[in-house]
Structures are given as C-alpha cells and as structure tokens.
Amino acid sequence: MHGRTVTKELDPGRYLRLARAGIATCAVDLPGHGERLDALRQAPEETLGVVEQMVGELDAVVADLIASGEHLGCKRALGGMSAGGMAALVRLTRPHTFDAAVVECTTGSWRWQQHRAMFDAARVAAMNPIDHLQNWREIPLLALHNSEDEWIPVDGQREFIEAVRARATHPEVVQFHVYGPTGAPFEHAGFGRMASDAKERV
C-alpha cells in the first residue's frame, strides 16, 4: 500500500523485482487515491480516516485473492509505505493470516504525530498500533526508515519497534534499519542514494 497523495503505480520497478524473485504482488490504491480518486481525501487531515477505511478493506482483498485459486499454499506478506504502512500495522494488531510484513517510513506510535494536521484523537485511541499489541502475532517484520524523516519522526517508529520486540519470543525476526541522510524528498519519499540498499533488503 502506498502513501498519501500518490498511487499504486508509483514504483512499478518494485513489482518487477518481486516477480523476478517469484513473489506475486497485489497492489491496491488507498481510498481517495489512484483509480478511486477523490482529491479531498488526500488532505493531511483525512489521513487517519483513509487508514481506517483501508484497514477495513484488506480482508476482502485477501478473500478475493484466495477465491481466485491462483495462490493456494502460498505464504502472504503485508506491506505499506507511510500511510499505507500505518494501515498495515493497524491490521497486524488484529487477528490475521499474514506470514510476514514490510513497512517503510511509517509509524506504529501515532502520538508522535500530534503536532500534525493528520492527528485525530478519537481514531488514535481506537487504532494506534502501539496501544493495541495484545493481539500482535509474532511474524517477521522489516521496517525501514530515514533518520531525518521530516514527516514521520523516526523516534516514533523506534518506540513501536522496541515495544514489538519486547513482546517477542524471537525479537531477532523484527528488523529495523535506519538510513542517515539520503537526499530523498523530505527524507520521507523513498531512500534517495540508499535506494539500492533498501531494495536489496526487501
């Protein structure tokens, strides 16, 4: 799942790399984005509403994939960047059937965003991943972040990762890699000069 204001076509090279590795990909647009464009829903203050809706849609996406019969016996991973990563982490705090997860430049501790327009106290109380880890199931998790991220502070994600590891029987399956300054826009949209390294990790 992509981040706010972009579309699932943002990084077609990613899908090609995964296909070459034998990994099928299902990319979906966030509500209000891409094929279901609604510019008003791309406003910063709409972020958590978009995340909430996306979380509610994920099970139907998985059910459709299973019904296709093309992925029987395959393991499933969930991934997302920025707002898409927030949706992924929320979904993982609830019973699920995913076997692994990858998130980029996102956060599982939303209180670090309270100074931003996206902050919605009611939705934070209902969904903030770090506050709902009682149903977290231990699966491999890779989180990538930029140390100078201007939109999602790395310290919030670090707090979340530490909380997940603290609950884990095998904390080593929870990987958190932080890049120094990369030259990416706002140190948030991608990994700039470290993009090749990030691609190798995913």
Please give the pLDDT value at position 73.
Answer: 86
Structure tokens at 92: 């993982």
- Residue 150 within a domain: yes
**Secondary element (H or E) of residue 83:** helix 83-92
Residue 141 domain-assigned (yes or no): yes
Give the pLDDT of residue 143.
99
Do the Cβ atoms of 53 and 31 come closer than 8 Å?
yes
Q: Is residue 144 part of a domain?
A: yes
**For residue 77, what are its two tokens?**
């991973």
Is residue 5 in some structural domain? no
Average pLDDT over residues 153-168: 98
Residue 93 is predicted with a pLDDT of 98
* Arithmetic mean of pLDDT, 112-132: 97
Q: Is residue 57 within a helix (H) or strand (E), and if so which, with residue range? A: helix 47-68
Burial class (CB in 10 A: 0-12, 13-18, 19+), 185: exposed
**CA pair distance 169, 167, nearest whole angstrom:** 7
Tell me the β-bridge partners of 81.
104
pLDDT range class, residue 170, cuts 50, 70, 90 = very high
In a domain, 53, yes or no: yes
**For residue 2, is it within any domain?**
no
Structural domain of 59: 12-201
Query: 39: left (phi > 0), else alpha (psi -120 to 50), else beta?
Result: alpha
Which is nearest to 164 in space by CA: 118, 85, 106, 108?
108
| C-alpha–C-alpha distance, residues 10 and 168, integer Å | 34
For 89, the token pair is 């982490």
The CATH number of the domain holding residue 58 is 3.40.50.1820
Question: What is the C-alpha to C-alpha distance for residues 184 and 178, in angstroms, rounded to an integer?
Answer: 14
- Is 192 part of a structural domain of the chain? yes
Residue 4 lies in a domain: no
Domain total for the chain? Answer: 1
pLDDT at 130: 99
pLDDT band at 14 (very low <50, low <70, confident <90, very high): confident
Crossing angle of the two packed helices 83-92 and 47-68, in degrees rounded to 10:
60
Cα distance between residue 90 and residue 51, in whole Å: 9
Task: Decide if pLDDT at 199 tops 90.
Answer: no
